[in-house]
Amino acid sequence: MAVLLFLFLQAHAIYAAGPGDIRLDDKIESLKKAGVGPVIYPHAAHEKLYKCADCHPKIFKDKHGANDISMKRNMDGQFCGSPNCHNSPKAFPLYNCARCHTNVRAAR
């Protein structure tokens, strides 16, 4: 019983803390060609501004690997580039590569 209670509390604690930073690197080969590194998505920073239902499940399915995010799709108004997000004056624009991508190639 005590173990169950402990597990329940543990699960609750994880839920309250959120999923933390999410590393997006399934298209690493393409990313390398474009001169950028994977995106480390800061979930906590977005939690401060939005409620879960603002993004889930309409814009992002809340499951690892279920969202086939690409820069093309962002440009077309999906995922990060949704019309009220990083494709609007409300948030920084998509061309600020270094705000999301790590290891951004520096200009020569």
| Binding-site ranges for another protein (CB under 8 A) | 27, 29-31, 33-36, 70-76, 88-89, 93-98, 101, 104-108
Comparing CB distances to another protein, the nearer of 36 and 55 is: 36
Comparing CB distances to another protein, the nearer of 15 and 95 is: 95
Residue 40 contacts residue 21 (beta carbons within 8 Å): yes
Comparing CB distances to another protein, the nearer of 47 and 76 is: 76
CA pair distance 100, 41, nearest whole angstrom: 7
We find the least distance from the C-beta atom of residue 32 to another protein, in angstroms, to be 9
Tally of helices (H runs) and strands (E runs) in the chain: 6, 2
We find the least distance from the C-beta atom of residue 46 to another protein, in angstroms, to be 21
Give how far Cα 78 sits from Cα of 5, 8, 26, 70, 104, Å: 40, 35, 17, 9, 23
